[in-house]
Structure 1
Amino acid sequence: MKIYFPQWQGSGTGKTIENGAKTILDYLDDPKFIHVPLSEISAGKDGTKKHDIHNYDAITEQLTRLKKSIEESQPNTIKTIGGDCGLEIVPVSYLNKKYPNLGVIWFDAHADINKPCDSPSCNFHGMPLRTLLGEGSEHMNPLLFTFIEASQIHYVGVRDIDDTEQTRINDGEIYAPKKTNIADLVNTLQSKKITNLYLHFDFDCLEPKDYNKTYYQVPNGVTISEAEACIKALQENFSIVGSSVLESITTDISELKPITKIINMLIKQ
């Protein structure tokens, strides 16, 4: 199942994320993508905060729509063009139900593992992993198919971590190395008997000198060549049952050139 879901409301005011998702959709030019409509509830500067989550009503309405679409299709695999990272709670929880002990690879500069009450921004795209663990707002739980375990989370490129997030990472012994080591990642997954993977790819995991058309730019990231090599190794050693490309903001297809191989590997293949 291929899904176009350009959710931006989880980022607060970042409508550039919606425009960036459309650029990737236009680049791929694939009619197989299902378009899941976004909510028309006021969001961004006109949005409201509930349960310590900005734009809560808009987010939950459209994520309910996404869940229903997946539930009706019952796909074996899911590839998503987004959108902000908050959308991941639906496809990841679905695939986790379908494939026990799913490995979740989180290519991201940010840990995205805040509780709503601990979040400095109250933006949901910083909360999806905590929500997937069943430790976020209980009001979001009906959107989930299942909860995941901390041992299923594996970060690549994470480097912008809040103190409360670091505590959760440490307490859960979550895989979060300071430097990318592809062989170690593969060995870690194999030691856990993980065979199926979900690859979450927020483009801000990349070094901004390689690609800076992202909602955030965080220095000392993963190089494009490292990211490509990591994806290739994961594809060669595991079954990839889901993947996403998220939070690119360029509206110029030509500016996607540095990352087209990554897009093709994750979404086109």
Structure 2
Amino acid sequence: MNKQLSIIGVPMDLGQNRRGVDMGPSAIRYAGVIERLEQLKYDIEDLGDLVISRPGEEQEKKDNLRNLEEVREGNIKLAEEVDKVVSKNRFPLVLGGDHSIAMGTLAGIAKHYENLGVIWYDAHADLNSGETSPSGNIHGMPLAVSIGIGHEKLTGIHGYQPKIKPENIVIIGARSVDEGERELIKEKGIKVFSMHEVDRLGMSQVMQDSLGYLESRNVDGVHLSLDLDSLDPGEAPGVGTPVMGGFSYRESHLAMEMLNESEKITSAEFVEVNPILDEKNKTATMAVGLLGSLLGEKLK
């Protein structure tokens, strides 16, 4: 992996309606992410946290989209920063914040690739739009936006769309998928490994199959978008939308180690750490441990 790494914190909590996830980047830093990666001999550039504008007062949802203008503005800033990092041939590591920030991350990355692949490690598919979302929370929409489906103020971030092809996506760990998302998965032929398939096949086979699938698509880079709610809430309680029946810490370590061994990952983001809902920073500490495995930490 590229040993030149730049960290961008995005204290975004406007893509949903529970406060606290804006403190996720600080919690992950407090859990020792920089020290952990320095031990792995990375050249680390910490770009600090983006400034995210707050709504003046509680706004009505526009087109069933909560905080549309502020979420858009924050993602435009993020796309510009990520674009600069990739232009300098550095590995972008984005720390969230809620998962709406994936719109900006992918917008900044994908323009540098002809055929970017995405591994979406998440309990949710995040393929809603204003028309299908039960809540209007934009953190449930970034994958749809990135394939060009959704409000034009979001799909057009960073001046182009779509960012990625539906057939270049692998969703791993899905166990809470809305009806509109199911229909879109079928319509677009998006590859999904639900928890049923993880249980039946085992994590090792799922990761082999995921990497093999992306290789068959001839991708020229792979972005990992990891939502901490992919883990079981008993292991990672500090998330805003916990769903029972998730990954164990051990399974996720194996997944990250296999991604590292593949030498395919070219960018990553870790999102949805909410220290207000956490227990003694347990979830942020897990995020740091998984980042260590992704970026090359070995027991021997």
Tell me if TM exceeds 0.5.
yes
Distance 2:231 2:125 in 1: 14
Q: How is 1:17-166 mapped onto 2 (pairs within 5 angstroms)? A: 17-28=21-32, 30=34, 32-42=46-56, 46-73=58-85, 74-76=87-89, 77-144=91-158, 145-147=160-162, 148-166=164-182
Whether the 8 Å contact between 2:207 and 2:255 is mirrored in structure 1 is yes
Maintained 8 Å contact 2:50/2:77: yes
Per the alignment, do residues 231 and 52 of structure 1 end up closer, same or farther by CA in structure 2, a change over 3 Å counting?
same
Measured in 2, the distance between the counterparts of 1:263 and 1:211 equals 15
1:226 is matched with 251
The structural deviation recorded for 1:165 is 0.1
Deviation per residue, 1:25-65 (Å, 9 max, x gap): 2223647233210103336xx13322321111211222222
- Report how far residue 75 of structure 1 moved: 4.2
Aligned-residue sequence identity (percent) comes to 24
Q: What is the Cα deviation at residue 259 of structure 1?
A: 4.2
Give the match for residue 260 of structure 1. Answer: 288
Give the match for residue 186 of structure 1: 211
1:6 maps to what in 2? Answer: 11
Q: Secondary structure at the match of 2:222?
A: strand
Q: Distance in 1 between matches of 2:81 and 2:211?
A: 32
Alpha-carbon separation, structure 1, partners of 2:53 and 2:119 = 28
- 2:268 aligned to 214, 229, 243, which one? 243
- The CA distance in 2 between the partners of 1:246 and 1:110, in whole Å, is 13
Q: Cα–Cα, structure 1 residues 28 and 75, in superposed 2: closer, same or farther, change >3 Å?
A: farther
Q: Which residue identity lines up with residue 193 of structure 2 in the other structure?
A: P
> Hey, what's the Cα distance between the residues in 1 that align with 2:102 and 2:26?
18
Q: Helix, strand or coil: the match of 2:111?
A: helix
Contact persistence 1:103–1:198 (CA under 8 A)? yes
Offset, 1:195: 4.4
Report the AA paired with residue 58 of structure 1.
Answer: E
Calculate the TM-score normalised by the size of structure 1. Answer: 0.90
Bigger mean CA offset, 202-211 vs 233-242:
233-242
TM-score (norm 2): 0.81
C-alpha displacement of 1:161 = 0.3
Following superposition, the deviation at residue 146 of structure 1 comes to 4.0
Query: 1:183 offset after TM fit, Å?
Result: 2.0
CA deviations on 1:169-224 (whole Å, 9 max, x unpaired) are 11111111222322221221222223421110100001222222211211111221
* Structure 1: gaps (5+ residues): none
Q: CA deviation at 1:266?
A: 4.5
- Map 1:166-181; keep pairs closer than 5 Å: 166-178=182-194, 179-180=197-198, 181=206
Say whether the 8 Å CA contact 1:224–1:259 is kept in structure 2: no
Show the counterpart of 1:207: 232
Give yes or no for contact 2:260–2:294 (8 Å, CA) kept in 1: no
How far apart are the structure 1 equivalents of 2:185 and 2:156?
Answer: 25
User: Could you tell which deviates more after superposition, 196-205 or 211-220?
Assistant: 211-220
- 1:225 Cα deviation after fit: 1.3
Cα distance between partner residues in 2 of 1:41 and 1:141: 21
Bigger CA drift: 66-75 or 95-104?
66-75
List runs of 5+ in structure 2 lacking aligned partners. 1-5, 35-44, 199-205
Q: What RMSD over aligned residues (CA atoms) do the two structures have, in Å?
A: 2.2
Cα pair 1:42 1:58 within 8 Å, conserved: no
- Paired with 1:249 and 1:267, the residues of 2 have a C-alpha distance of 23
